[in-house]
């Protein structure tokens, strides 16, 4: 890989900024100053220091976003603000995409990455990666509703969902629940409740597999995953 491309990909600056750094002797490769931005390096092997800082090679980027309502889970759109619009420009043009979709009015955990194979595994129903949601439901949620979730629910289009789990957190005219499902059909949680004659009035994803939304993230905030979080996610088998 070209040295300038590597540096730009690792977030050391724009392509023209890093070219400038290289030409001005601020970058060493295996201890030697190299002033040619186009020189080929081997990211997995070479030790690169840029402006006094060792540049750690990361093949992929993993971000945890606390998605706010009002933005859509897409990479681009002509009319709507997308989750990518919430990111710092240093993450642009890196092939980052949201893993799965949250509705425009749904909040919470959204993983953004450019690791295509991982995204695929997390979304595959065969892998049974459970997504956990906190929801507020108009009306009293009952033990019969819990049983229906356990059995799988027949949706409006004739599809029967895989078994899910419904925990009642607070009973009342507006109930609070936790839902765990391992599929990601369009509007799935809302449609499961609709099939039971109930309406979801608030929905937030709190976990995806072992990845749990960091409670310190305010709506619209994001952070890179910690190495142990990446490790746990990438343990999902091929
Ligand atoms: N189920 C829904 O109905 N909406 C979401 O955004 C996610 C799951």
User: Given 3.40.50.300, 3.10.290.10, 3.40.50.720, 3.40.50.740, which CATH number is that of 3-55?
Assistant: 3.10.290.10
What are the residue ranges spanned by the domains of the chain? 3-55, 62-125+211-234, 130-208
Residue 238 banded pLDDT, cuts 50, 70, 90: low
CATH of range 130-208; options 2.40.30.10, 3.30.70.1560, 3.40.50.80, 3.10.180.10: 3.30.70.1560
Cα-based distances in Å from 129 to 164, 182, 207 = 12, 5, 10
Does any ligand 1 atom lie closer than 6 A to the CB of residue 102? yes
Which atom of ligand 1 is nearest the CA belonging to 192?
3
Same fold, 3-55 and 130-208: no
Contacts of residue 158, defined as CB under 8 A and 6 or more positions apart, other chains included, come to none
Average pLDDT over every residue of 41-47: 95
Encode pLDDT of 55-86 as tens digits: 989 889 999 999 999 999 999 999 999 999 99
Most informative mutation of 188, 193, 207 for ligand 1 (most atoms within 8 A of CB): 188
Cα of 27 vs centre of ligand 1, distance in Å, is: 47
Query: Does domain 62-125+211-234 sit in CATH 3.30.450.40?
Result: no
**Does the annotation count 103 as an active-site position?**
yes
- pLDDT-based confidence at 9, cuts 50/70/90? confident
Q: How many angstroms separate the CA atoms of 236 and 122, rounded? A: 8
From the candidates 46, 103, 165, 214, give the one annotated as an active-site residue: 103
Residue 106 CA to ligand 1 centre (angstroms): 7
pTM of the model: 0.87
């Amino acid at each position: 890989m070209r040295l300038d491309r590597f540096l730009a990909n690792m977030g050391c600056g724009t392509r023209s900024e890093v070219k400038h750094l290289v030409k001005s002797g601020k970058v060493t490769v295996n201890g030697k100053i190299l002033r040619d931005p186009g020189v080929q390096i081997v990211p997995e092997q070479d030790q690169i220091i840029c402006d006094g800082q060792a540049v750690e090679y990361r093949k992929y980027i993993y971000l945890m976003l606390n998605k706010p309502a009002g933005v859509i889970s897409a990479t681009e759109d002509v009319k709507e603000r997308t989750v990518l619009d919430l990111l710092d420009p240093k993450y642009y043009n890196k092939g980052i995409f949201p893993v799965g979709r949250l509705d425009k009015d749904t909040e919470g955990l959204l993983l953004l990455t450019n690791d295509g194979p991982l995204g695929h595994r997390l979304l595959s129903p065969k892998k049974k990666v459970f997504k956990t949601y906190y929801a507020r439901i108009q009306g009293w949620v009952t033990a019969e509703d819990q049983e229906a979730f356990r059995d799988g629910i027949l949706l409006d289009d004739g599809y029967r969902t895989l078994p899910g789990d419904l925990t009642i957190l607070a009973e009342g005219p507006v109930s609070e629940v936790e839902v765990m499902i391992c599929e990601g059909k369009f509007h799935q949680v809302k449609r499961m409740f609709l099939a039971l004659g109930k309406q979801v009035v608030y929905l937030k994803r709190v976990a995806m597999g072992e990845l749990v939304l960091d409670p310190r993230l305010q709506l619209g905030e994001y952070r890179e995953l910690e190495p142990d979080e990446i490790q746990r996610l990438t343990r999902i088998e091929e």
